[in-house]
Chains A and B, each alone.
Chain A
Amino acid sequence: MDTWLRVTEAGLYCEPLDCYIDPTRAVHRAVLTHGHADHARPGHQAVLATAETIAIVKARYGENAAGSFQALALGERLSMGDGRLWLAPAGHVLGSAQVAIEWRGVRAVISGDYKRRPDPTCPPFEVVACDLYITEATFGLPVFRHPPAEGEVARLLHSLSVFPERTHLVGAYALGKAQRVVRMLRLAGYDRPIYLHGAMQKLMALYQELGVELGELRPATNLKGEKLPGEIVVAPPSAIGDRWSRRFADPVTAVASGWMRVRARARQSRAELPLVISDHADWDELLQTVREVEAGEVWVTHGNEEALCHAASGLGIRARALSLVGRGEAEQEAAEPA
């Protein structure tokens, strides 16, 4: 199988369909699973992705981020070269998709990033049975079992009631996590305006345009000395502990990330209120998925490949680590939308 689907310097390449999946360098034809910076880079000649992912890529890099864009609806089959390709929802962020490729009766699925938990901002992951499954393993250790995200949002709301005079500053990745947290706050009945760091505004507006209800959002800029006591402000994780945060009323710093499960990591982030909310599959979800796709072979990309391969072997599945350069590395903190 590794002759028609193989790792190159630019990333994963499918020869019979002549396309790269989430290439890390500019290529002539790229299929993008979703809009995060370590998967979607600018400069490709042609890009194929869901309409939402294309909108996100354009919002981030501009209308000319690629030579041409082709939108493909979820489930729509597309013939390419002498094979065919379609996209299935991955449940990671809005627009995220798994790429299914069929060639000569063999089916490979490249999951991109995914999760199995419900997320009110995007359609749920769909299991696609296949012969070869290529999975991420961001949280590929059994210590990562995410608690229900509703409970974490409830902790944020409880903290607001304990510290009503302090601004609650929530660090969340600008694409996906931030919108999910806001949407979940709305579903939990929180209807006050939510304030946004400047870096949040563009994608929030795009999510709203694409039909995700986020309620009243206000910029946390030009406050003219207003300190926003008792309000929620959403910002990139890198901003919450820095000088920018000084304008607020004795802020309680929260960070929403799957890494918050481990205390040493949470302390590194200097969060006073770590929220374990992840857009990636946790350990149980990874194993569940590897079982359900019933693939004879599994390739594991970024994360803790070793442990997942070990566990998959225990289930009688052939598994091997695939080293993809540049995944989860760019911009460190910002590009780890976990």
Chain B
Amino acid sequence: MRKSLTFLLFTLSVATACAAFAQDAALIQAARKEGKVVWHTSLALPSSTAIAHYFQNKYKGIEVEVHRNGSQRVLQRFMQETSAGIKNADLIHTSDAGHFVLLKDKELLLQYTPKGVESFPAGFKDKNGFYFGMRATLSVIAHNPKIVPEKDAPNSWKDLLNSKWNGKMVSAHPGYSGIIMTHVLALVNLYGWEYFRDLARNKLHLVQSANDPAGIVASGERPVGVNGAEYFYYKTLKQGNPIKIVYPKEGVPLVVSPVAIAKDAPHPNAAKLFTEFIFAKESQQLLADKEGLYTGHPEVTYPADKPKLKDLKLLPADPDELEKRNAEIKKRFVEFFGA
């Protein structure tokens, strides 16, 4: 009896595995027929091209067309194309989770749940299954240790308001970057808009991308970054540049970046395959190992020199609030900083 049960279980599992395998094979074949997938992404250019190459090596014959831009620009381009009736994008990936609330509302997304995401934390999942967080990062403070001595370095968000940093800091822009959009919302919720009004008095150098401050701090053009993508600071640091990352105790904005398939995707199967690929454990591990990112996958391990998320006080953002306050944040930021 027991034997037969085991046998039954065994056949069952083999059957499901086979069915899954057949399903995968069918998907791969359909994707191959489409030949390419167009990925609109806000992931840093070196990282997104690297992932495209991993995918292309695994699935020969399917090209990944990477269109990298800032989150807000990705949305702008996608909406411009949509309003002109152009169907070009397969996958949309930005760091402004609010975008996906908007896109879902406008019925521009395809419902698709990749395997394995059930085990991801709630903040990585849309309850209706339209989008899932493919990566996460933090927005942090950083400084150049060659220029700023350790004892003087800013350790908290409020330290940055000190006038001794006048003309010495760089900020990225919420009108371009989803990471910074999330960052601004988190700090406005923490300290109110007065925080940014006071920060602006220190005459910041304004760049666009959340990745740009890493280069600006490393080159010494501005020795302190008041925000920026932690993974890019980390990557720049790992390349041997003088950078010190600070994770403020008051809380660190956590940025979860979703990916979704466009409803009118010209290559829907390749898009599904790419989605399966990116949420598979080995890809998620790759994001952690090679790109310095955090992920929602519970089994992924992280480099030893990076803090564990559970050891930090995180400031997560609510996608609905991000969507509602997008215009307000862009407008107020420009009021304070001039552009």
B and A form one assembly: no
Chain A contacts to B: CB under 8 angstroms: none
